[in-house]
Amino acid sequence: MSSVLPTIWTQAFRTSAQAKRNRSLNTEESRAITRQQMSDIAAAAGLRRVHFLQWRDLDDVEAGGSEVHSATVARLWADAGLDVTMRSSYAQGHPPREERDGYQVVRRAGRYLVFPRAAFSEATGRHGPRDGLVEIWNGVPFLSPLWCRGPRVVLLHHVHADMWRLALPENPKLAEAGVLFESKIAPKFYRRTPIITLSWSSRAELVDDLGFSPDQVTVAPPGIDPRFVPSSSKSTTPLLVAVGRLMPSKHFDRLIDAVATLKERTPDLELVIVGSGLERRNLERQIENLNAESWIRLAGHVDDDELLELYQQAWAVVSASSREGWGMTLTEAAACGTPSIATDIPGHQDAVADGESGLLARSTPELVTHLDSIISDADVRERLSKGALVHARKFTWEATAKKILEVLASTSKSTATKRPGGGPVSPATE
């Protein structure tokens, strides 16, 4: 990709570089302070050994934002001195057990059997003693209230709702059963369980759609890796980037159609879609039918350096998704000074400061209008790029990890008052 040095990007890069030099010691000191605070919180609550339960592992071929989120929190807790174990389903090509980033990873059972088997293993102490449990409810819960005593919290990023129908078009009865279980049956078991979600808009959805009490749901926005920083340049030609798993709910097909409507009046427009998944072949056919192979690229999985370069070079990062707990690709891009054009849905409503760090679209025609404005108007790009950098500074992974630990610690204090002698309980002694 060729590039120039527009004034805004030269200034943004120099400002960012100077700010990083000025803040580097303070940032490291701040992280050290947060680590110590987390260590103190865990010690005060008796949380020395914490177990995570999740559907997929970070090394799974279909891992996404949920797995990045849990793995980052686990790493930061391990850095703070906690003994962390992460249990998930089997990940092809990876061993059943290994250590990663200071915590233990256990990968056993398939995509469906992981739920009963992981719950049984935890209930019987096969993963070792624990002082606290973090259950990640990703469509299907582990039903921890039925078998787990002691401190626990649930991470629930968003309601899946129509995602069941999109993921199971060939089995509508199973899809409807999934919707029913998620919305009507499972929530009844979690009425006394602290729930943590990523955004205020997702919190409202959990309250309205699943019936949780507002006081029950805590918001802990995800952070942004510090490697995401602005570059000194942008692509010389209009470049749009979309990042995510190629699955129906991401609606890359709608995005391709939307961008295609702009191609005639923007001949040098380019779209790069990063990610892999089951929808790839359908998207390839769509691109072929549009004769767009020369300007729409399905990049597949890319390494960290290439992803960073794409964020930095893009004029905008785009998402047409219908369901998100947040939209971490949008805030990662924002940290690179790249604004977002995204659907106006829970999650995106917090990941994007509408009109400041990007633009939210309530329909496909509005998505096209927003894309056209950011491509054709340099003033809009400059304003939103500056706003994206400001918005991104609000989010750190250390703050995320600390907030989740605080909620878990609060359950330790409340459950201790209900047990003779107080103190945390591990499965081995239950």
Q: Where are the domains of the chain?
A: 28-223+396-429, 225-392
CA-to-CA distance for 321 and 327, rounded, in angstroms? 9
Q: Name the CATH topology of 225-392.
A: Rossmann fold (3.40.50)
pLDDT score of 121: 96
pLDDT score of 8: 38
- CA distances in angstroms from 212 to 139, 140, 177, 209, 330, listed in the order given: 16, 17, 20, 8, 28
Examine domains 28-223+396-429 and 225-392 and report if their fold is the same: yes
Taking only the tens place, the pLDDT of each residue in 17-37 is 444 444 454 578 888 899 999
Residue spans of the chain under pLDDT 50: 1-23, 25, 416-430
All residues at 6 or more sequence positions from 171 whose CB lies less than 8 Å from its CB, including other chains: none
Taking only the tens place, the pLDDT of each residue in 112-165 is 999 999 999 999 999 999 999 999 999 899 999 999 999 999 999 988 877 778
pLDDT score of 426: 37
pLDDT score of 28: 81
pLDDT score of 6: 40
pTM: 0.86
CA-to-CA distance for 212 and 217, rounded, in angstroms? 7
pLDDT score of 417: 41
How many CB atoms sit inside 10 A of residue 123's CB?
A: 16
CATH superfamily of 28-223+396-429: Glycogen Phosphorylase B; (3.40.50.2000)
pLDDT score of 29: 85
pLDDT score of 14: 42
